[in-house]
Each structure stands twice: as C-alpha cells, then as structure tokens.
Amino acid sequence: MANIKTKIDEWEVRDLEDNGVLKVYVEHNTEMGNYGVPGIQVWYTVAGGTSIVNYEPNHVERWAYQAQKNNATEYLLTDYSWMYYDDTYVKNSLVIGDTLKARVSVKVRSKKDAITKEYDLPFTLE
C-alpha cells in the first residue's frame, strides 16, 4: 500500500526585528519507519533550509526511554531542533503522557514568548 500524506497544520512566525520567517508544516503519514506504521512528520524551515523530524515508533520508543531515564515528561530533541540563539529558535520535543505528543515551540526576537503547539501521535508504545 502506498503512503498517504495528510496535512495536519501549517504555520509561521515572523520576526519584526529582521523580517525573518520561521515556518512549520506538520503532516500525518500512513506508513513510516521500518514497520510501515502511521506517524507524523514535522517540517521546519529556517532561513530557506528545511529540516524534518520523524515521529514514528522506533524513534519515539528510544526518545521515551531517554525521558524515562531522566524521570522527565518531556524530551527535547536537541539533534532535531534549531537552537543557535536564546531568543530565536525552533524546539521539537516528545511529550510523554497518556497520549504521546509532538511539541513544537517557535521563538523569535520580536515576540515575548514562544508559540507552542502539540500534536497527538497516532500510536502508543508498549
């Protein structure tokens, strides 16, 4: 069966300091990872370069284990985030709870607080 991609959300945050734009696009995929199971992808664009975070069971299981080792309910995906400045960033995280969630936080210099959105993952872990 072919992978079917469905848009979940698309948003951007404009920085009034330099007129830069940080963009986020989130989509559901019917087949992801080694087992071809549903998951979501978070695409984020900074200065024209796009990066993708795959929330599929193999990755999420590893991230959840790291969060569990630290007794945390949120695991910041430092390798899959753009955090070169304290006042401008895109942070991707896994939120551990009854429902697993992908969290995206975007901060620009001209906004006091980060804009954060969460997306339920279409699977559970054992």
Task: Identify the DSSP state of 86.
Answer: S
Across 47-74, average pLDDT:
96
Across 97-118, average pLDDT:
97
Which tens digit of pLDDT belongs to each residue from 76-95? Answer: 999 999 999 999 999 999 99
Question: Three-class SS of residue 60?
Answer: helix
- Domain spans of the chain? 5-120
Torsion sign (Cα): 109, 15, 92, 79: negative
Please give the mean pLDDT across all residues of the chain. 96
Which tens digit of pLDDT belongs to each residue from 8-38? Answer: 999 999 999 999 999 999 999 999 988 899 9
Work out the pLDDT band at 67, boundaries 50, 70, 90.
Answer: very high
| Strand order across the 89-95 sheet | 74-76, 89-95, 101-107, 115-120
